[in-house]
A = this chain, B = another copy of it.
Amino acid sequence: MRSVMVQIPNTPTSADVARLAGVSRATVSYVLNNTSAVRISEPTRRRVREAARELGYVPHAAARSLRAGHSRMVLMPAPAIPVGPLYSRFLNELQWALGRLDYTVVQYGSVGLQGDEAARAWAELRPVAVLVPGAGLGPQGVHVLKRSGARAVVTLGPDRVEGAHALLMDHEAVGQCAGAHLYEGGRRRIGVVVPEEAGLEAYSRPRLAGVRQALQGTDATVTELPLAYTEEAAARLAARLAVPGRESGLDALFAYNDEYAMLLMRALQDEGVRIPQELAVIGADDLMLGRLLRPRLSTVHIELPSGRDLAELVDRAVRDPGGEPEVHRVLGASVVRRESS
């Protein structure tokens, strides 16, 4: 492995640019990498840029990062499940904020790869920082990434991982909010919807646990209600819940999020269940559509970390890779009471 010359036929190299512009390859490199430390006249800079444009020459990010010792790439795994509007907005804000700090965000499609094995695949791209939402990455994965040149690894999940900065996102708080709200409203037989769709356990389990925590030591009971996101499944569950003198005798539902809540509330209304008189319903995410229903849907408003704050944490960590890992608790949760609870 001696040369980094690209082997693709016809691909122009910096040597071609240097020849056309009548300058050295070092000058080409200085100009195209915007090195301000070296004084090069404006006409020469212009000549190099014009030659590069004429030849269609593009610097090789990897070769450049090899020289610089690191890249400006921030890598995130691409979401493996369709994302909701809340997370989609967070991602956009984060990309924008990192872009302003001159980083490039790359979402890596880690299909079929998990945890530390995924970390090895990410490391091959030699990112300067890695952001990992959810659980799964272990200390070994963090180590592999750092050995490969990542100056910062930041996890966004329920727990700290050794060697990594942590934005602790505690979805239990979402369930705690909902559970406490229903209890304070006098409800004692509380059903908690658990989506059957794969990939949502990372959120639904802690939300369920949060409801249990909120009700621990009280006279309230918690019933798990598995539900697939289809009208048919919602109709079946609603029919079971609507039976007069039904065994479960539920008087309240925390429906995982607003989408499941909307689906189930409609099915319950079709069964003649009066909401909230007979059954209180609360969702989570504070989607606008929940306000369009009648009764208006109560919800848990979730505050994701600010994309700008996260971008600044990444930049701080990249500049000071030896610093102590930062730990921040970032997920805010608060009840928005409307008419359904």
This chain's copy number in the assembly:
2
Contact B78 A95 (CB under 8 A): yes
Is A63 interfacial (CB 8 A cutoff)? yes
CB-CB nearest in chain B for A5? B66
Interchain CA distance A320-B5 in the complex, whole Å: 23
Tally of A interface residues using CB under 8 Å: 77
Contact mask for chain A residues 1-40; partner B; CB cutoff 8 A; 1 contact, 0 none: 1111111101110100000000001000100000000000
Contact B109 A99 (CB under 8 A): yes
Is A217 interfacial (CB 8 A cutoff)? no
**What's the minimum C-beta distance from A237 to chain B, rounded to whole angstroms?**
15
Is A323 interfacial (CB 8 A cutoff)? no
Taking CB atoms, residues of chain B closer than 8 Å to A3 are 2, 4
Contact B266 A8 (CB under 8 A): no
Contact B69 A7 (CB under 8 A): yes
**What's the minimum C-beta distance from A140 to chain B, rounded to whole angstroms?**
9
Interchain CA distance A57-B126 in the complex, whole Å: 12
Binds B, one of A84-92, A152-160, A274-282: A84-92
Interchain CA distance A120-B2 in the complex, whole Å: 27
Taking CB atoms, residues of chain B closer than 8 Å to A58 are 120, 123-124, 144, 147-148
Which residues of A line the B interface, CB within 8 A?
1-8, 10-12, 14, 25, 29, 55-70, 78-83, 85, 88-89, 91-92, 95-96, 98-100, 104-109, 111-112, 120-121, 123-126, 143-144, 147-149, 229-231, 259, 262-263, 266, 288-289, 291-293
8 nearest A-B residue pairs (beta carbon):
A62-B62, A99-B111, A105-B109, A61-B124, A82-B88, A95-B109, A107-B107, A56-B147
